[in-house]
Structure 1
Amino acid sequence: MSIVAEIPGFIQIFSDGTVTRFSPEIAQPSPVVSRGYKSKDIVINPLKPISARIFLPQTADSAPLPVVLYFHGGGFCFGSTTWLGYHYFLGTLCTKSQCIVLSVEYRLAPEHRIPAAYEDCHEAVTWLSSKGSAGDEWLSQADLRRVFLMGDSAGANIVHHVCLRVLSSKAEKVKIGGLSLIHPYFGSEERLEKESTEATKVSDALWQLSLPVGSNRDHFACNFETAEDGKEVDWSKFPATLVHVAGEDLLSQRGVMYEGFLKRKAVKEVELVLQEGQPHVYFLFSPEDAATTSLHEKLYQFIHRLD
């Protein structure tokens, strides 16, 4: 048995199809309040499976709380809401923004290639709009008129595609109050200035593992300029969107292009947020850094801009 693909330190794929993933430190949920919030893991669909971690802020107020549905990054191939970096970042978001956070654990490639991640995260939206808010005490304060889709890297890509599915289905009872795409993971067959051959080796490998077999980087999942077959989008209904880019991030040019794409589609409210001098997903590794504090402040303002 030999290794046929590898992202050192994260994932190995063997010739018999088995996959080994390497994880950083894991955080256990805490059903008692700590750092101003409590957390627990719930099951959305045991058959696939799809699960999520809920973060609930400590508050004496019984008023309805906005909900953030968060999708983690990892190139569609690794990553978890249980990682310590995500747990701390989302717990802090829950506390600072006084919102409920539902962080989704979706199926990963290459065992479950795209569109599995989109299907799972869209199912989480549907679950929230029906069974979730009615069947879980922690979601009893959820304000389904203020639901925000957020994610980083591949999770930001998922935000875009799940939103398109929500707009197409028209079945969910939730109202999407906005999108926040942090360092979005997009691409195309065309190379950009920052995308040197050496720098994009990992990105290319992840796309090869996650896109449908036989697809290239102009597949609709990767290239946002490419329309998904059979799906028409009413861009006038696309929610307010924050696009976050980091100055030292290989993906920053794609984020700037995505903002321009939405503006060309005449999306009503689009804002680009640039953090100079920062690398990809810096907030997972520097939770106390000024840039991370600034990110939390921006997210708070976005969530509560219409209060």
Structure 2
Amino acid sequence: MASDAPSDSAAGTVAAEKEEEIEIDAPGFFRLYKNGRFVRLIGTERMSASLDPSTGVDSKDVLVDPSSGVSVRLYLPPVSPTRKLPVLVYFHGGAFCLESAASPIYHRHLNTLASRTPLLVVSVDYRLAPEHPLPTAYEDSWTALRWVFSSPFPDQWIADYGDLTRVFLAGDSAGANIAHHLALRGRKETEAGIAIKGVLLIHPYFWGTDPIGSESADPTFRSHINKIWQLTCPDTTGPDDPRLNPFTDEAKSLKELGCDRLLVTIAEKDLMRNRGRAYYDKVKESGWTGEAELHEMPDAEHVFHLFHPDTEKADEQIRLFVDFFNKE
């Protein structure tokens, strides 16, 4: 007797196809399948730490916390043995789920920045979502920052060349989000002996339910961004989670930023441009007593200086960073 019920083989095929249905597709970046499989399409290549022949900057990887595996990559430019350098603690971007401290784009960028400033760079290799959802990236980064200030000196390069009275935090995109939160946390946790001179936020990754300015109001687009945030932070309350939206009532006051100076950089064609500008405005309005600057690069996209490092705009961006770190 004939039956409309699918055969076992047909049912298996349907099940297999469902397992490969896409939940989130970020073309060129990553793909999340409905069965939970996460595939990175960018940011998996790693460069070894080494002496860079073009800049003379040396680099090495140091394990910070054996229990978690958190490590940092240190960058030391060629300097006099008696010269003390500003210390930059850097957090890479990638929506909390892509890239690493060893990614070629960051390795090249930080070699250049260390050489041209010059400064001693500590690039944090925090663990990534979704395998390690937030707040892991925040906690790993805090562990690395505390390591920099730990006593006795955690590494000979920091002991010999680092000036811990001139420590800066910086990051791009999600890394800028991390730098913001650590600056707030550093102000509250003074018992850790942490003193931050300045913070550089490059195209910061902030978001929220309601569009700001010319930000897209398209519900499909906003839902896509919200899904990415949900992927990296499963316990989130939504796009107005204070970890993502620093302007909500639940967020810590920007008046509590634990630094003396702040530079926020934005790009004209960046989808999150208005968030960065609003952040600068809110800091100025908060009663924070430090010195804040905002710089917008015209006709430029999100983290353009990383993907197009040899352009005139990227060089201008680097000069801006150098001036910020060297300003007395």
TM-score, normalised with respect to structure 2? 0.85
**1:18 to partner: Cα distance:** 4.2
- Aligned residue type for 1:260: D
For residue 296 of structure 2, what is the aligned residue in structure 1? 274
For residue 68 of structure 2, what is the aligned residue in structure 1? 48
For residue 235 of structure 1, what is the aligned residue in structure 2? 256
* Count of residue correspondences: 304
For residue 153 of structure 2, what is the aligned residue in structure 1? 134
Match runs of 1:122-201 below 5 Å? 122-130=142-150, 134-140=153-159, 141-192=161-212, 193-197=214-218, 199-200=221-222
Please tell me whether the aligned partners of residues 183 and 257 of structure 2 are also in contact (alpha carbons under 8 angstroms). no
Please tell me whether the aligned partners of residues 144 and 173 of structure 1 are also in contact (alpha carbons under 8 angstroms). no
Q: Would the alpha carbon gap of residues 128 and 286 (structure 1) be closer, same or farther in structure 2, given more than 3 Å must change?
A: same
- Aligned residue type for 2:154: G
Output one character per residue of 1:102-142: Cα deviation in whole Å (capped at 9) or x when no partner.
Answer: 111111112222221111111111011005x7132222211
CA distance in 2, matches of 1:150, 1:29: 20
Secondary structure, aligned partner of 1:240:
strand
**1:17 to partner: Cα distance:** 3.8
For residue 271 of structure 2, what is the aligned residue in structure 1? 250
CA distance in 2, matches of 1:228, 1:93: 36
For residue 230 of structure 2, what is the aligned residue in structure 1? 208
**1:14 to partner: Cα distance:** 4.2
Runs of 4+ in 1 over 4 A off after TM superposition: 31-34, 198-202, 231-234
CA distance in 2, matches of 1:228, 1:107: 26
Q: Does 1:285 align with 2:307?
A: yes
**1:51 to partner: Cα distance:** 1.2
What is the RMSD of the two structures over their aligned residues, measured on CA atoms? 2.2
Q: Would the alpha carbon gap of residues 300 and 293 (structure 1) be closer, same or farther in structure 2, given more than 3 Å must change?
A: same
**1:208 to partner: Cα distance:** 1.7
CA distance in 2, matches of 1:130, 1:136: 10
Output one character per residue of 1:207-238: Cα deviation in whole Å (capped at 9) or x when no partner.
Answer: 12122435201110111013557x67753754
- Aligned residue type for 1:210: T
Percent identical residues: 35
Q: Does 1:65 align with 2:85?
A: yes
Secondary structure, aligned partner of 2:169:
strand
For residue 218 of structure 1, what is the aligned residue in structure 2? 240
**1:205 to partner: Cα distance:** 2.8
Higher relative contact order (CA 8 A, sep 6+): 1
Q: Would the alpha carbon gap of residues 293 and 61 (structure 1) be closer, same or farther in structure 2, given more than 3 Å must change?
A: farther
Deviates more, 1:102-111 or 1:193-202: 193-202
**1:20 to partner: Cα distance:** 2.8
**1:48 to partner: Cα distance:** 1.8
Q: Does 1:261 align with 2:282?
A: yes
CA distance in 1, matches of 2:302, 2:149: 32
Please tell me whether the aligned partners of residues 253 and 286 of structure 2 are also in contact (alpha carbons under 8 angstroms). no
**The structure with more radius of gyration:** 2
Deviates more, 1:202-211 or 1:248-257: 202-211
CA distance in 2, matches of 1:47, 1:187: 33
TM-score, normalised with respect to structure 1? 0.91
Please tell me whether the aligned partners of residues 145 and 174 of structure 1 are also in contact (alpha carbons under 8 angstroms). no
Please tell me whether the aligned partners of residues 130 and 231 of structure 2 are also in contact (alpha carbons under 8 angstroms). yes
Secondary structure, aligned partner of 2:192:
coil
- Aligned residue type for 2:177: N
Output one character per residue of 1:239-296: Cα deviation in whole Å (capped at 9) or x when no partner.
Answer: 3110000011111100000001100112231110110000000011111211111111
Q: Would the alpha carbon gap of residues 49 and 228 (structure 1) be closer, same or farther in structure 2, given more than 3 Å must change?
A: farther
Please tell me whether the aligned partners of residues 246 and 277 of structure 1 are also in contact (alpha carbons under 8 angstroms). yes
**1:201 to partner: Cα distance:** 5.6
**1:164 to partner: Cα distance:** 0.9
